[in-house]
Amino acid sequence: MAHQSIQCSDVSSTSQSPTQTSYIILSTSDRVDVITAWFPDSSDSEIDFKLTDGISSASNVTVTTRQSHDWGRLPDLVFIEIMKYLCHSDRLNVALTHRRWYNLFQTGCLWRYRHIDFGYSLGTCPVIKNNKDIGFAATFGKHLHHLIITCRHPSFTNCKRFQKMQTSFLQHLYGKTKLKTFRMKNIEFDRYWRFDSIRDRLLVSLKRFLRVQRRLELFEMNAAQLGLIQGCQVLEAIGCNAGHIKTLNIEDFFHSHQSPFRIGRFINFLRQLRHLNILHLNYNCLCNDIMAILVANNNTSSLTYFSVKVYKNDPHFHTIDRKLWKLLRKNNTNLKVEFDFDSVATYDEIATILIPEVQVSKLHIWTGYDHTTNFHLNETFTYLRNHFHNKLEHLSLELENEREYIDAALISLLVRCWHLKSVEINGNILPATIEDVCDLQQQCKIGLTKFHVILGNITPDELTEVQQIETKYGPMIESHNLDFHFTTNVIDEIELF
């Protein structure tokens, strides 16, 4: 989100004293009311707002008043609200300018969120940064509710340092932090962790910390790539207090080639989750028994979003009972289902997993880098058109389809799926197909709001044709405020505004 700067200038109405200026960084211009609430609404005061282009594409909102005010008397609630939009270092700089502001600097609501990044960019001293993180844990850890832990540039060399710093950080939080959300993203324990002992010590500290989090509502640990035993131990640590969890993201949580749905410990963990709203997992974590648990635990329309990833190296040749999918949808009337097929793209594979009772609303298909397989994509599009036209809203395709022409089947799919609002295609389609889609949109025969295409293997003549489409339909796209965007992986980008 782009930040905006508010420049506050106090100009006396009876004197020519120099203007006093201070700067406060807010997130959006609609937060200006926080400042205007401080200025009295009287006949002898005047407040003007002017947006001007500033540096880095930000906008400077100038607030000019004809009355002079003592910013040291800014109401506590207004000051705290402003401080929420400052980064931690800027908060400290502001607090050091005024004794009362330093006291307000300790307010708990200012320290609810923390993102700990154990990766380092150029020019950053790891020791100084880690000391700041540990200092935060020791000083403000009791106020923390939302924690994100990432490692920006994981490697074999920094895993040991990552383990030491996280162990120390979690130790300072232990016993005094009551988290509501916990996210640890893209750690990939199977890839960079050369020594098992380092990984084990990290997991021990993590499990110890999670066991005492009794108010956890969101747990996200995607792309952890853990073994079955290690993964189940981490889940059991939060399972002790799973009654409050509403969002669970364990996509790619387990290592490939494994079948968590056969493990009793994993099934028992899911049985404890009775108030799920959002669930992300892999298809190798699903079976009839687990689907029956989801149906039984979410029979009050609590589950609203269910995302399933199908990966080629995961076991995915089993089928979920049609009745269970139907019951899940019946019990959760607002449920939206997403499927992500990663390097699983043949018609037989998709039709076996994506049975009509699923009623998928968001679908992504990536063929992978296989240039030899015939995926029968036309049959897949026909299948989607016949069975999911009432629910499909978002479609994303990444195709290696040099051997298959999909244009006619794609147009037929778009026309039949009236609820379809977003289409993204990275593959080989004809420029004439793009024109057909634009023409259907102009005639209101389809209702797309987003249409992104990356054309493959385009020729100069086809490039000229796309430019002509830009000229022809550009006004329509602009007048309807549509997000239509065409690029190519061969020639420079082409945009339709």
- The residue among 449, 366, 454, 456 whose CA lies nearest residue 414 is 449
Question: Are residues 215 and 247 in contact, defined by beta-carbon separation less than 8 angstroms?
Answer: no
Task: State the sign of the Cα–Cα–Cα–Cα dihedral 315, 320, 325, 327.
Answer: negative
Give the per-residue pLDDT at 17: 40
Give the per-residue pLDDT at 40: 44
- Cα distance between residue 442 and residue 40, in whole Å: 51
The answer, yes or no, to whether residue 5 has pLDDT greater than 50, is no
pLDDT, one tens digit per residue, over 338-385 is 999 999 999 999 999 999 999 999 999 999 988 888 899 999 999 999
Mean of pLDDT values over 272-286: 94
pTM of the model: 0.81
Q: pLDDT confidence of 19, banded at 50, 70, 90? A: very low
- Cα distance between residue 357 and residue 321, in whole Å: 9
Alpha helices by DSSP H, listed for 254-373, are 264-271, 288-297, 322-331, 347-353
pLDDT, one tens digit per residue, over 131-147 is 888 888 999 999 999 99
pLDDT, one tens digit per residue, over 82-102 is 888 888 888 888 888 888 888
pLDDT, one tens digit per residue, over 100-120 is 888 888 889 999 999 988 765
- The H or E element containing residue 478 is helix 460-479
Give the per-residue pLDDT at 14: 36
Give the per-residue pLDDT at 13: 37
- Cα distance between residue 249 and residue 184, in whole Å: 10
User: Where does 393-445 show beta strands of DSSP type E?
Assistant: 394-398, 422-427
Question: Are residues 488 and 494 in contact, defined by beta-carbon separation less than 8 angstroms?
Answer: yes
pLDDT, one tens digit per residue, over 237-265 is 998 888 889 999 999 999 989 999 999 99
Give the per-residue pLDDT at 490: 66
- Cα distance between residue 172 and residue 363, in whole Å: 42
CA trace torsion 281, 277, 144, 239 (10° rounding):
-60
Q: pLDDT confidence of 266, banded at 50, 70, 90? A: very high
The answer, yes or no, to whether residue 451 has pLDDT greater than 60, is yes
Give the per-residue pLDDT at 493: 45
Give the per-residue pLDDT at 45: 40
Residue 270 phi, psi (nearest 5): -65, -30
Non-local (6+) Cβ contacts of 231 within 8 A are 224, 253, 254, 260, 266
The answer, yes or no, to whether residue 121 has pLDDT greater than 70, is no
Give the per-residue pLDDT at 63: 46
Give the per-residue pLDDT at 72: 67
pLDDT, one tens digit per residue, over 283-342 is 999 999 999 999 998 776 789 999 999 999 999 999 999 999 999 999 998 999 999 999
The answer, yes or no, to whether residue 497 has pLDDT greater than 60, is no
Give the per-residue pLDDT at 119: 64
Give the per-residue pLDDT at 300: 67
Polymer length of the chain: 497
Q: pLDDT confidence of 232, banded at 50, 70, 90? A: very high
Q: Residue 479, class by beta-carbon neighbours within 10 Å (0-12 exposed, 13-18 middle, 19+ buried)?
A: exposed
Give the per-residue pLDDT at 237: 94
Q: Residue 348, class by beta-carbon neighbours within 10 Å (0-12 exposed, 13-18 middle, 19+ buried)?
A: exposed
Half-sphere exposure of 161 (CA within 13 A, CB side): 16
pLDDT, one tens digit per residue, over 388-447 is 999 999 999 999 888 789 999 999 999 999 999 999 999 999 999 999 999 999 999 999
pLDDT, one tens digit per residue, over 193-223 is 767 888 899 999 999 999 999 999 999 999 9
- Across the chain, mean pLDDT equals 83
Give the per-residue pLDDT at 496: 44
The answer, yes or no, to whether residue 455 has pLDDT greater than 70, is yes
Q: Which residue has the higher pLDDT, 161 or 44?
A: 161
